[in-house]
Structure 1
């Protein structure tokens, strides 16, 4: 471990081994992800528990309010998350997000009424949004391009690990005859934020943020730590560092600023924003909200009505989704982001139409419904969640920061999360009302707008696989803003760089090393 300057108040003792550091970065990604997944599955379980429903005396409207209130905080968090991540640094933003989440968890556990529960969940949603936005930007800027899909994909993949833990805990506490049947699962939620805080001193600050703030030598060390075991003269580390320096210098010379207005200032910025932020809303309207928050109601429409059977289904569902999203992350790394999204989206459409049809058959004659009809409907529901997990679980955090350049990245990712949480706030609130009133027709409506999403992906998304964040600029700007070859070509030995020449260019560029 080597003490590394971070340009912020949070110190860092960072391993020089690239593999070890990648492992620590993945742990940071995992614990951030678990908080969000735990919340969704926990509420799924709580909405099934009679003790939770009886304590708050819930009806359809208050059930939707208690569940959806986390997205109020999820809408407020993105309004400031980009500014905080840009001004304070990526790691401090993650830290404050985790602290706010912990406060929300404690208040939620101690809630004595709907008002306190809702306020707690607003705080929780704010903290999760802040740490999630800062985390996705941080990890995309820190992981080398060859590992970025896996490193950033895990930021949402382990949603299902948190969900599985919550499902198991609520299954166990569901047998308790006290309010701790729902308070205990709520309290455990804070463990992941605590782990996130503990891991931060052992990972470096984003090299892109350090360069932008003028900490050039510190950024060069971080690039070497994440690419070449701390060797600052390694060809790959030199290429990555030169790309960052050249591209950020070009952005400054082109008049790009860190203001939120920058995301709307030019046609190219608007294009990058719209394509990048689309992942949030697209993933939200895909149809997973029904199973993510109202699995009990969904299973009831299929004929599985016993609370204990529904809780068991919640556990199995999360194991299945975890396996699928890990497969999906592999596909995004090997096949690419756009093909994975398109294949998954069309499979979702097919599943939703089948679920709608089978649910209608059950609703027409519940008493005469066969066991095979019930099991078939549940099986397709599980397939749907698996297909969703293949693409949208990893892509939700991989794609937006890749598409956006540095000046708009933090605020653009925040806009993506704002779009997701705004839609989720609406859909989570209305889903129980819609399922209760129109039942199977909700699936048909959802399938129809998923077709529109697939068309938009096919027409407008761009492929970002195997490119550094700086090399993706060429897809939008028409040219790369650095003279060095592409990093992956250097890594594979397909092209070489003159190390002495690049070092000379860096040393004579007029950038003074900022002393901390």
Structure 2
């Protein structure tokens, strides 16, 4: 086993409950910013004061919205190696700095150029967090609450823009832009107490600290507890194997083997599905969709925006609770099928009742939009931040997430910049085209995706590479008492300890794991 090296610096909380709460809180607060931003642009795009102040046309309105994806795509080109070098926590702090700079420029914008710069900086923060924060895996509460609070952020933003729309003048849209900075400050405060990634610590030679981080999340700081030892040994064995195989933390490694190429393909496919399913038309241009459906009142549009985000919140929470029961692949398939069906219905109803003269037809169109967004929220929203880090092993995780971020932003630019022109030009036909694309997504997931439910990151290697790179029994077998942890382990000082058989009487439950 790799030699243990004692590192300097204070240790984190020993309590697994406290550590888990902090991990969840940091993910929740940070993800809230993403949800807030999406609903923010949707809300202010509806406001006449925003359009009038910046003298927006269809082109500049699309540019303002797409600029966030441009910034995120730019930073994804180089942020992977940076995060590998400085660590996950410092990477998240860098993203917070970018976000706060973006908030300042957006809130104070006097013209389109200044607003676009703010959106680019905000996007750079989002792109950086996509690489740094998304490498924190949460099989359970961590990813659960990341999803939950992303939708919560959208709901908060929708409520804020609904209320500020009554403010006379420019502050109706400047105030919501300014308020999103509060979440970044809150995240920075919580982040100070969150542990660093144990795998990153191990790669830096800080093996004792890595063990203590695992123990702090697994067994209230007890480094000799069997499940802590098992998870730690799995991690170290896999790192040893990667180094013995000559694997490097660079972009080239993503294409170096068949397994790595499959991992990247799976991660990128999540990005495309998340952005190209049709949901972003609703997320950013709900006002235009409602106009096409026959609704012209700004107040009514903002009210629908609030209710829709509340509905998405419920659906995302429901999907998150089902994710570990039904499975990732099954949930994605169900969502793709439901999205295709409901989007076909939206297109058909828009074609027939888009003139707005039939109240029942208009209500039917709105109901179909709600069903479509619910179909997306119940399956795709939870998977967006959960599945990619699961299928990317450590040697390519940061750079693989950078590729995921790039795919998100290329798709995002296409959606936010091109779709408004398509909606204006071909109206309901755009929904039909997008629905057909959702059918293709269903086929892709059915053929290529793997199920990762219930496996540790190291155990997922067996699903993709055909072998697990450690002789440690699977965690689930240790918990069920069907396997025994044999051999010697180490404690936090590096001294050898005897491993104790893990039986059904072991009370420890695997908590969210930091990657």
Say whether residues 1:204 and 2:192 are aligned partners.
no
Residue 354 of structure 1 corresponds to: 345
Say whether residues 1:280 and 2:280 are aligned partners.
no
Q: 1:162 aligns with which of 149, 153, 158?
A: 153
Paired residues of 1:485 and 1:497 also in contact (CA < 8 A): yes
Per-residue deviation, 1:61: 0.8
Per-residue deviation, 1:276: 2.1
Residue 89 of structure 2 corresponds to: 91
1:129 to 1:6, Cα distance in 2 relative to 1, 3 A? farther
User: Could you list the per-position Cα deviations for residues 24-61 of structure 1 after superposition, in whole angstroms to 9, with x for gaps in the alignment?
Assistant: 11111111111111111111111111111100111111
Structure 1 unaligned runs (5+)? 510-516
Paired residues of 1:74 and 1:126 also in contact (CA < 8 A): yes
Structure 2 unaligned runs (5+)? 498-515
Q: 1:271 aligns with which of 239, 257, 262?
A: 262
Per-residue deviation, 1:84: 1.9
How far apart are the structure 2 equivalents of 1:174 and 1:308? 8
After superposition, residues 307-386 of structure 1 pair within 5 angstroms as 307-363=298-354, 366=355, 369-386=357-374
Residue 382 of structure 2 corresponds to: 394
Paired residues of 2:103 and 2:180 also in contact (CA < 8 A): yes
How far apart are the structure 2 equivalents of 1:34 and 1:503? 39
Q: 2:439 aligns with which of 432, 451, 454?
A: 451
How far apart are the structure 2 equivalents of 1:104 and 1:495? 52
Residue 507 of structure 2 corresponds to: none
Q: 1:230 aligns with which of 188, 213, 221?
A: 221
User: Could you list the per-position Cα deviations for residues 124-174 of structure 1 after superposition, in whole angstroms to 9, with x for gaps in the alignment?
Assistant: 10011101321110x21xx5xxxx243124323322211111111111110
Paired residues of 1:94 and 1:132 also in contact (CA < 8 A): no
Per-residue deviation, 1:470: 0.6
How far apart are the structure 2 equivalents of 1:6 and 1:46? 52
Paired residues of 1:153 and 1:393 also in contact (CA < 8 A): no
Which range moved further: 74-83 or 286-295?
74-83
How far apart are the structure 2 equivalents of 1:103 and 1:325? 30
Per-residue deviation, 1:6: 11
How far apart are the structure 2 equivalents of 1:493 and 1:120? 55
Paired residues of 2:214 and 2:232 also in contact (CA < 8 A): yes
Residue 65 of structure 2 corresponds to: 67
How far apart are the structure 1 equivalents of 2:190 and 2:275? 30
User: Which TM-score applies when normalising by structure 1?
Assistant: 0.92
Residue 413 of structure 1 corresponds to: 401
Per-residue deviation, 1:320: 0.6
How far apart are the structure 2 equivalents of 1:7 and 1:66? 46
Per-residue deviation, 1:503: 4.1
Which range moved further: 455-464 or 126-135?
126-135
User: Could you list the per-position Cα deviations for residues 243-271 of structure 1 after superposition, in whole angstroms to 9, with x for gaps in the alignment?
Assistant: 00100000000110001110011222111
Residue 501 of structure 1 corresponds to: 488
Paired residues of 1:32 and 1:132 also in contact (CA < 8 A): no
Which range moved further: 153-162 or 393-402?
153-162
Paired residues of 1:7 and 1:210 also in contact (CA < 8 A): no
Residue 212 of structure 2 corresponds to: 221
Paired residues of 1:405 and 1:473 also in contact (CA < 8 A): yes
User: Could you list the per-position Cα deviations for residues 257-304 of structure 1 after superposition, in whole angstroms to 9, with x for gaps in the alignment?
Assistant: 001110011222111111122100111110001110001011111122
How far apart are the structure 2 equivalents of 1:40 and 1:49? 15
Paired residues of 1:44 and 1:294 also in contact (CA < 8 A): yes
Paired residues of 1:55 and 1:179 also in contact (CA < 8 A): yes
Residue 513 of structure 1 corresponds to: none
Say whether residues 1:464 and 2:462 are aligned partners.
no
Residue 280 of structure 2 corresponds to: 289
Per-residue deviation, 1:7: 6.8
Residue 107 of structure 2 corresponds to: 109
Paired residues of 1:279 and 1:396 also in contact (CA < 8 A): yes
Per-residue deviation, 1:380: 0.9
Per-residue deviation, 1:507: 5.4
How far apart are the structure 2 equivalents of 1:166 and 1:258? 38
User: Could you list the per-position Cα deviations for residues 291-324 of structure 1 after superposition, in whole angstroms to 9, with x for gaps in the alignment?
Assistant: 1000101111112221000001111111110111
Residue 129 of structure 2 corresponds to: 131
Paired residues of 2:203 and 2:239 also in contact (CA < 8 A): yes
Q: What secondary structure, in the 3-state scheme, does the structure 1 residue paired with 2:14 have?
A: coil
Per-residue deviation, 1:14: 2.6
User: Could you list the per-position Cα deviations for residues 431-461 of structure 1 after superposition, in whole angstroms to 9, with x for gaps in the alignment?
Assistant: 2111111111110000011111110100000
How far apart are the structure 1 equivalents of 2:147 and 2:66? 20
Paired residues of 1:12 and 1:200 also in contact (CA < 8 A): no
1:6 to 1:379, Cα distance in 2 relative to 1, 3 A? farther
Q: 1:189 aligns with which of 180, 203, 213?
A: 180
Paired residues of 2:130 and 2:402 also in contact (CA < 8 A): no
Paired residues of 1:301 and 1:362 also in contact (CA < 8 A): no
1:199 to 1:477, Cα distance in 2 relative to 1, 3 A? same
